[in-house]
Structures are given as structure tokens and as C-alpha cells.
A and B are shown apart, each in its own frame.
Chain A
């Protein structure tokens, strides 16, 4: 087996069943030292079970987990050097901040003077040097978050697991904490494994993201890869927004061609990364709103790109959201298509206007349809 010390954490064909239900199915991955790795998936996809197996709260029913190249199967949770930040943080309310952070050190039998030094060091590093004597209920949400991380980091773990720790925070604080978490990870230079169902958290913070669905990893890659070159229809649909069509391939050279959608629209497409699409295949096509240009009927087609797909429609409504504004266009066949628009505040498109939507076949990602998905 590979015992390359390059990887802080390595899972090999890890599986877990609860009775007949298979929560995690043969998942393999490895995480390079010092990187920020996210596991992104809808709730119930098995990501929490996976994390609990890494922490040692569940025994896997198959496969191996290696930390710094050594298998930890059979090692009880309190003997693993993997620390975890819980969803609701699980700070101990009966202890103050100092005692919370010192807890793990005391369990390891570290001397009192050493504990004092380490706790103050870690509080400095999370930029909360004066809260040692506070009670937990006196802290703000963001402070609690940082204390929970400090409580783990003071033990110098090989891997830090974070189980949707931002879930309980309000939106504004969550945005702020995303950046802060990333900075903390850089500062400690420890491997972070972060699980979440919120794609923006995963995309913003991570070096690598694994997309998990129904107990399996669909794809592992950098956020850019996942977004621009999804390897499965699930990833394309789950990461980012997309307009989605189903249809049947009319002509194809394997990597691209023409498809007729169920609504009767003809469209040029490109086969998704690593896929070969043959003629007659049932497919799903995904086009992201930001790649669809809305063009007024009266105006000239001003895009330089090869816009080999176009469709006419009527503006149904504007979804104004500042820089992220969109337009909903109803096609002649009656379907609604979302496209990004830049709204300048004067002479913008209005509901009821006739427009053309144009997009490139390169942005029309096509996947062979898989049953009902």
C-alpha cells in the first residue's frame, strides 16, 4: 500500500452500512498536507458518516483510513490525532474559554505552566487574546467559532475536521467567517477537511472539493474544475446554477454535435469532459446563465464569440440583484430560461420585450442521461 507521507489523510475504499442501508460506498481519496479540502453534498449524502468514521466515532464496514500514512482502524477516537469542530461547536458551557482550550492538553497530561503558555499562544493566533477568562455564553457567534477551532488547534492535530460549523450563523457573519477560516487555515498550515452542503462555502475556501452524492464521490477537483468541467450531470446541476434541457443526439462526432431537446429546440453542444456522446443517445444539457447573452431584437448582435446557438423569446421578468441580476425569458415553446444581464439603470431590457438568447456550443455541456437523474 502507498504510505507516502505526502498525504495527511488517505481513505481507501472506505464503506459503511447501517443494516441494509449503504451510507458510504467505497470512497477513496487522499489529501495533500496543509491543504483545505471540502466535501460538498446534499444532506443525507453520507458526508457526516464519512467524517465520523475519520474521527473514530463510527467503525467503517470496509476499507482503510490512514493518517500520516498509518492506518487508524481500531484506534479509539480519543487516541487519534484528528480533531473535530462540531456542527453546533459543542463548547463546554460549564467551563470558561481557558478551560475549554486547556481541556485537551489536560487530557494529555501537559504541565500547568505549559498549558498556560500554549493557550495564550493560540488565543493570540486567533486574534482573541483577552477572552481567556470569559464564560462561553458571553461570546459572540464568531468568537465561539474561533474558540472551537483554537480548542482543536492547540493540540497540533494532523487533520482538522469541520462539520458545517457555519450553519448556525447568520448570513453576514457566515460570509465573514468564510474568509476568516481560510486565513486561519493558512496561518496554522494544517490540513482542514470541511464538510458542507453550501457550495459557496466550499468553492470560496477550498483548494480541492469532493462532490458527494448518495454515498459516493462524484468528482474531486479544484473549485474551477468542478465549475467549468463537471464530470457528471449531478455535479453540473449541483455546483452553480444551470439551465437544463433533456434531449436526443441527432448528429455527433463523439465530442460534439447537434441535439434536439424534448421541447423541440435544436442546439449545438460539446460533450462534457471525458465523455463520448454517440448519435441517438438520450442526453442532459447544461448551460450556465452567465454564458447566455441576451440580445435585443432591434439591436445588433455585438458579441465577438462564436455564438452558435440562439433562440428567440419574450422577457418574462427581471430578477434584480445588483451585479448578479438575471432575466427570465420565455421561449416560443413556453419554457423559461435564465440568463445573466448587466443592468445599468437606463435603457435596460423590460418585461415584454422580444429578445434573442445566444450562447456558444462550448458552454453547452452534454451528459449521457442516467435513468431518472
Chain B
């Protein structure tokens, strides 16, 4: 009896702990999201009533996020950067997957480790190292050839390169895992049925990889959208959203419009996450 009670108490305690953990996980997100709807100039209690002003109002002091030009521009740059990074990293991730699953070359394990390494280099260091190299190259080109390589100065191109440098590892790992599960006799079967190599790739192998490519693309998009550490050193005048928000926080202090942006991003990421889950679920069906 006693030990029975002890076990029940233990399980109850365990459940409470798990519940407390999830409250801990949710609390800051709820706080960040909820104040977007508080009809107050400060994201703090007391609750002043519900409002959508921080999204849609077009006049100061309660300028809504959809009328705040700098935030909108940040959102636009973030979007452009994330799309380019996602596209590039899917492309290279796919070629890497083929390289490491199908290829046979000396020191393959060493190169595989090299592929994983960018993920464990601190983002700040990736940022400064790329900044240093780009600036050195640009300075050299200017001094020696008189060339003005504008794209090697902090700006969108460098931000894309900086994020691409470690996000490609993520997409490579995701797509490699999927390609490893591919049954190569399927390619032979297609060849046997008369398809050319290009056609086999287009109609058999790539469709098989598609769910992983989409999922990897979504992860790449989100990681790029959220990135701060690497971007911080490479950003030029076209500041993406996280940088704009950080500036706002540092200069103006916290204002509910930041809560509105947070809420908007949470919903957007949530939807994308949902898409990626649906795509992955399709995969288990096969």
C-alpha cells in the first residue's frame, strides 16, 4: 500500500513538473504576444482593454506595425534575405546530400565533419570572419585594381552569405537523411523502363526528396528570419527585421508595437511549422 502511494505521488509530482516546464516554455511567448492587444502605451500591466491599434492604427503615438515604415522595410528585407538563403541552401544541401550518399572519394569522413562544423561555430565568429575577408578582398581590389566591389561591403549580399554559411549544414543534414532512405533500385527500375538519367532524376529521385527539401527550406527560411548574431556584423543600410527591432528596443525602449510584430511573427512561424509538419506527414504515408 505504502509503496503504491509513493509511486502515485511520484507520478503526480512528475506530471506537475512536466506541466510547470511547459508553463515556463510558454510564459515569455504569451507575455510577448498578449501585450500586442493591450490598449496602453507601454507593454505592462495593468490591462487597459483590448485593441488592434498596435497593428492597424496609422497615427502616432500608437503607430501600428502595418503603418510603421521602418518595421515594414525590415520585414521586407528579412523576407528577401530568407527566401534567397533558403533557395541557395536547399540547392547546395541537395548537391551535398548526393555527394555524401552516392559519392565515393578519399577522406569522405573528414569532409563530412567539415560539413557539420559550421553548425557549431558561434554565429558571431562566422559573422566577423566573413566581414573581415570580404573587406580585405574589397580593399585589395580597390587599392590594386581600382575596382569598387560594392557587394563585398556590409549589406544584403554579405548577410545572405553569412547566414548561408551555417544554414546549409542544416539543409544538408535533413536532405542527406532522406536520401539515405531512398531505395536505389527505384532508379534502376526507371532506367530499365527506358528513362534517361536526367528523367530519372526529375521524375523519381527529386520527387522522393521533395518533402525533405520543403521541410529543409522552411527551417532555413525561419532560421534566416530569426538570425541575429551573424547578421549583426554584416548588415548594411538594409536592416532586416530582427536588427530593426533590436534598434527600436535599444533606442526607444520596449513599445507594444514590438509585441505586435512578435505576435505577427509567431503566427507566421506557426503556420510555416504547420506546413512543414504536413509535408513530413505525407512522407510517412509512403
A binds B: yes
A107 pairs with B194, CB closer than 8 A: yes
* Minimum distance in angstroms from B76 CB to a CB of chain A: 36
- Given A78-B195, A94-B208, A103 and B286 contact (CB-CB distance below 8 Å): no
Interface presence of B185 (CB below 8 A): yes
- Given A93-B286, A94-B208, A86 and B194 contact (CB-CB distance below 8 Å): no
Binary A-proximity of B196-217 (CB < 8 A = 1, otherwise 0):
1001000110011000000000
Interface presence of B183 (CB below 8 A): yes
Interface presence of B192 (CB below 8 A): yes
Candidates B183, B185, B191; contact of A78 at CB < 8 Å = B191
Candidates A57, A78, A92, A94; contact of B196 at CB < 8 Å = A78
CA distance A87 to B208 in the complex (A): 20
* Minimum distance in angstroms from A261 CB to a CB of chain B: 48
A88 pairs with B183, CB closer than 8 A: yes
CA distance A178 to B207 in the complex (A): 34
Interface presence of A55 (CB below 8 A): yes
Binary A-proximity of B173-199 (CB < 8 A = 1, otherwise 0):
000000000010110111111111001
Q: Which residues of chain A (73-97) have a CB below 8 Å from chain B?
A: 76-79, 82-84, 86-88, 90-94
- Given A103-B190, A137-B286, A90 and B185 contact (CB-CB distance below 8 Å): yes
Candidates A84, A87, A90; contact of B186 at CB < 8 Å = A90
* Minimum distance in angstroms from A62 CB to a CB of chain B: 23
Candidates B183, B188, B203, B207; contact of A77 at CB < 8 Å = B188
Interface presence of A152 (CB below 8 A): yes
Interface presence of A45 (CB below 8 A): no
* Minimum distance in angstroms from A83 CB to a CB of chain B: 6
* Minimum distance in angstroms from B102 CB to a CB of chain A: 15
Interface presence of B251 (CB below 8 A): no
B199 pairs with A107, CB closer than 8 A: yes
Interface presence of B6 (CB below 8 A): no
CA distance A312 to B281 in the complex (A): 68
Which A residues lie within 8 Å of B193 (CB)? 78, 83, 103-104, 107, 151-152, 155
- Given A103-B195, A137-B286, A86 and B188 contact (CB-CB distance below 8 Å): yes
Binary A-proximity of B273-286 (CB < 8 A = 1, otherwise 0):
00000000000011
Interface presence of A187 (CB below 8 A): no
B207 pairs with A78, CB closer than 8 A: no
Closest-by-CB residue of A relative to B282 is: A94
Interface presence of A4 (CB below 8 A): no
B188 pairs with A78, CB closer than 8 A: no
Interface presence of A108 (CB below 8 A): yes
B186, B189, B192, B196 interface centre (most CB from chain A within 10 Å) = B192
Which B residues lie within 8 Å of A107 (CB)? 193-196, 199
* Minimum distance in angstroms from A151 CB to a CB of chain B: 7
CA distance A275 to B185 in the complex (A): 43
A87 pairs with B185, CB closer than 8 A: yes
B185 pairs with A86, CB closer than 8 A: yes
Closest-by-CB residue of A relative to B206 is: A94
CA distance A137 to B192 in the complex (A): 22
A84 pairs with B192, CB closer than 8 A: yes
B183, B186, B199 interface centre (most CB from chain A within 10 Å) = B186
Closest-by-CB residue of B relative to A76 is: B191
Binary B-proximity of A200-214 (CB < 8 A = 1, otherwise 0):
000000000000000
B195 pairs with A57, CB closer than 8 A: no
Which A residues lie within 8 Å of B191 (CB)? 57, 76-78
A90 pairs with B195, CB closer than 8 A: no
Closest-by-CB residue of B relative to A107 is: B194
CA distance A87 to B196 in the complex (A): 22
Which B residues lie within 8 Å of A87 (CB)? 185
B199 pairs with A55, CB closer than 8 A: no
B194 pairs with A78, CB closer than 8 A: yes
* Minimum distance in angstroms from B249 CB to a CB of chain A: 47
CA distance A89 to B207 in the complex (A): 18
Q: Which residues of chain B (37-81) have a CB below 8 Å from chain A?
A: none
Binary B-proximity of A91-113 (CB < 8 A = 1, otherwise 0):
11110000000011001100000
Provide a sorted-by-A list of 23 A–B residue pairs whose CB atoms are within 8 angstroms. A55-B188, A55-B192, A76-B191, A77-B191, A77-B192, A78-B193, A82-B192, A83-B192, A83-B193, A84-B189, A86-B185, A86-B189, A88-B183, A90-B185, A90-B188, A93-B286, A94-B207, A103-B190, A103-B203, A107-B195, A107-B196, A107-B199, A152-B193
Chain A positions near chain B (C-beta within 8 angstroms): 55-57, 76-79, 82-84, 86-88, 90-94, 103-104, 107-108, 137, 151-152, 155
Chain B positions near chain A (C-beta within 8 angstroms): 183, 185-186, 188-196, 199, 203-204, 207-208, 285-286
Ranked nearest first, the 9 interchain pairs of A and B with the lowest CB-CB distance are A104-B193, A90-B189, A107-B194, A93-B286, A90-B185, A94-B207, A107-B195, A90-B186, A78-B191
